[in-house]
Amino acid sequence: MTISQRFAPPRLGITETKKPEVSRSMTGALGWGQAGGARRHLGAVQAGRRFCGLLSGSRRYRVHSVFARALNLWDGREFLTLLPVSRGCGETCATLALAPEESFLDFGLVPGLEVEARDGTRVRLGPEVVVDFGSALTWESRLSTMAPGQLSDANLLVLRRTLLDASTASPLRGAVDGSNPGLAALLDALRVSVLAADGTRLGAALASLVGFGPGLTPSGDDVVVGMSLARAVFRRAGGRPDAGGLWEAGVRGALARTHALGAFFVEEALAGRSHEFVEDALGCLLAGRPQETGLAARRLIGVGATSGFDIGVGLYLAAEWERRYAWCSSG
């Protein structure tokens, strides 16, 4: 089923059996007159279900932030992200047929521009860009039905080795290679406080971590994303509510310390959702072979300047603590 078929008449959606190839002929599919004077027309390849609110017109979004290969939209509460096909999808993401040499920075998009939906399939991003969702496939999460089994020592070792081998200049590297004892102690306080059911100590540690680092999604937020997603998957498999633990309450209490975008990604992880590359890395860690885990980890590490690496650190620590201490199932 295409994303537009969830609320539009059947004639508006075309069901595809495979992802279409990226080409300029696709991205120029709409005519100038059809798009009301827009200069650039992009075809959506995949989209998460959260785009239904935008396409149906029930939620109004504006451009929040623009990067060369990512565009964030915001309605004051939730974010949607547009990415090239090579960057992966997700529940709150859509992938576009963007040519390799193209950049969102070239389209005249600036924060604050209103986003307008038409016909349940087309979205105007400011005055010059229209995205057609008519043939976009609905993205499906692999984690929603996953039941984690016994953690593989080999997969954990591969993930740790991949993190150590990466050249990412993250402030969290010292927590993996042991070069920053203070940071390692801060992260370990997260483990100890949850196992001891010490909300006060947990809150103090999270207050030092959430918002730590530069950018809209700081390193401290990203490591919490990895930990929170792993916990959500284990707790869901064990029949425990995602939002019902000491960790979950503590994290939500610290989110006022960071940016809205970083806080949103953390909230998504607490609910068991994240970007495709993050979910794939966790899925391979829990149920894949070592070679698959290594490939997924390397792809994750390539996300952003440091975000993928930092999330990988969170996934590794949470899984290792679960194997040793049942951390994800505690608290």
Q: pTM, whole model, 2 decimals? A: 0.87
Q: Give domain limits for the chain.
A: 3-138, 153-325
Euclidean distance between CA atoms 234 and 73, whole angstroms: 30
Query: Is 115 within 8 Å of 54 (Cβ atoms)?
Result: yes
User: From CA 276, how far away is CA 328, in angstroms rounded?
Assistant: 21
Average pLDDT of span 212-220: 90
Mean pLDDT of 284-289: 94
Residue type, 126: G
pLDDT above 50 (res 318): yes
Q: Among 48, 8, 260, 80, which residue's Cα sits nearest to residue 144? A: 48
* Mean pLDDT to the nearest integer, 65-86: 96
Mean pLDDT score across all residues of the chain: 87
Q: Could you tell me where the DSSP H helices lie in the chain?
A: 24-27, 52-56, 153-165, 173-177, 181-195, 199-209, 219-237, 246-254, 260-270, 276-287, 290-301, 307-325
pLDDT tens string 133-190: 999 999 999 887 777 878 899 999 999 999 999 999 998 999 888 899 999 999 999 9
For 80-122, the DSSP string reads EEEEEGGG--BTTEEEE---TT--GGGTT--TT-BEEEETTTE
Question: Is residue 99 scored above 70 in pLDDT?
Answer: yes
From CA 193, how far away is CA 201, in angstroms rounded? 6
**Residue 15 pLDDT level (bands cut at 50, 70, 90):** very low
